[in-house]
Amino acid sequence: SRPIVAIVGRPNVGKSTLFNRLAGDKLSIVQDTPGVTRDRIYADVEWLNYSFTIIDTGGIEPQTDDLILQHMRNQAEIAIDTADVIMFITDVKAGLTDSDFKVAEMLRRSRKPVVLVVNKVDSHEKLQYDVFEFYNLGLGDPYGISSANGTGLGDALDAVVAHF
Ligand code: GDP
Ligand code: MG
C-alpha cells in the first residue's frame, strides 16, 4: 500500500501551499485568513518512481497562541498515529517559536521518521543562512524550501522517500 506522508506545522507556515504544489493542482483552498476550513486534505502524489499519499493536517486552524499549541499537539498525534513519514513545516520568515520546539519534542519521542522543512526560503541568500537556526529543533538537517516557487522541494522529497 502507498506510504502516507503527513504535513504538520503551525497555522500560516504554508502547509496548504505545499500540499497544493505536491498534489499538482489548485483544488485545495489557501486563505490568508486563519481559521478557514480547507475541505481537501488527502491527495495522491507521484514523484519520480514513488507513489504516496499526503495528508494536510491543517484543517480548521485556531487563532490564539494557546489554542495553536493544543491544535499542533493534536495534529502531531494524528500524524504519529497514521503517517509513515512526517514533514514538519516551519517558517523561515517567522523564525522558531515555542510551539515549534514543543511539537518537535513530541515528534522526536515518537521515533517516526521526520523531515524538517523550513518554508518560505524563496530566494534571498540571507534566508538560506537563517535555515541553520532550525538545527536547534534537534530533528536533523533542515530542508529550506519555497512552496510558493518550488525551490528546494526536490531535496526535501528525496529525504522523505528515503524513509519508505
Ligand atoms: P497553512 O496555514 O500552513 O496551510 O499556510 P498556507 O498554505 O495557507 O499559507 C499561509 C500564507 O503563507 C499564505 O499567504 C501563502 O501565500 C504564504 N506562503 C506559503 N508558502 C510560501 C512560500 O514559500 N513563500 C512565501 N513568501 N509565502 C508563502
Ligand atoms: Mg492550511
The full set of domain ranges for the chain reads 4-161
pLDDT tier for residue 133 given thresholds of 50, 70 and 90:
very high
Question: Does residue 47 register a pLDDT over 70?
Answer: yes
Asked if the model's pLDDT at residue 35 lies above 70, the reply is no
Burial of 77 from C-beta contacts in 10 A (0-12 / 13-18 / 19+): middle
**22: nearest Cα among 49, 47, 59, 50:** 47
pLDDT value at residue 26: 45
CA 68 to ligand 2 centroid distance, Å = 13
The predicted complex's ipTM stands at 0.99
- Quickly list DSSP for 65-106: HHHHHHHHHHHHHHHHHH-SEEEEEEETTT---HHHHHHHHH
The domain 4-161 is classified under which CATH number: 2.40.50.140, 1.10.10.10, 1.10.8.60, 3.40.50.300?
3.40.50.300
Percent share of the chain, pLDDT over 90: 56
Give the Å distance between the CA of 104 and the centre of ligand 1: 20
Helix/strand/coil percent split, the chain, to 5: 40, 20, 40
| 121 annotated ligand binder | yes
